[in-house]
Amino acid sequence: MTKREQYEEMAEKLVMPIIEKNNFELVDVEYLKEAGTWYLRFYIDKEGGITIDDCELVSRAMSEQLDDNDFIEDSYILEVSSPGLGRPLKKEKDLARNIGEEVEVRLFQAIDGQKEYIGALASYDKDTVTIELEDTSSIKIQRKNIALIRLAFDF
């Protein structure tokens, strides 16, 4: 397990009591470096959507937890936000919640000369995701070949 993964896992364990106490959903935790600065990001959601006050509540509580536990060696910026409309579907519960919804899937390696598919999320298991395409055919994609899967939106 990489240091990044360890930090994300430890941060998730610390934030879960805060999330559960407030009836929020933890969508994702990321620890990453952007333009030379490390960020620890929590993406939270709830029925009806997240407000700035919700983000502030989690940020303040997590800031205390992170200070008390001090397991991250680098200096970093703590961010708490809503996952947004175009968020990736990363966890099993994200996929389960969106069965039948239109998704956009981007691949690492092309299948039949194509690296992007849009269609209804038909099913998934631990190794594959099946998308029903517009022409009613379906494609089964290995999860290890998926660079990104998210809800598709027409504007």
Q: What is the pLDDT, as a whole number, of residue 155? A: 58
| Residue from 61, 63, 58 nearest 43 by CA | 58
How many whole angstroms separate alpha carbon 88 and alpha carbon 103?
10
User: E strand or H helix at 55, and its extent?
Assistant: helix 52-69
Q: In the block, which residue shows the tokens 């937890």?
A: 65
By three-state DSSP, how is residue 19 classified?
helix
How many other C-beta atoms can be found within 10 angstroms of the C-beta atom of residue 62?
19
DSSP structural state of residue 123: E
The residue count for the chain:
155
pLDDT (tens digit, 9 = 90+) per residue, 8-43? 999 999 999 999 999 999 988 999 999 999 999 999
Measured over all CA atoms, what is the biggest interatomic distance in the chain, rounded to whole angstroms? Answer: 55
Residue type, 9: E
Note if the pTM is more than 0.75.
no
Condensed to tens digits (0 to 9), the pLDDT of residues 80-139 reads: 999 877 778 888 888 888 899 999 999 999 999 999 999 999 999 999 999 999 998 999
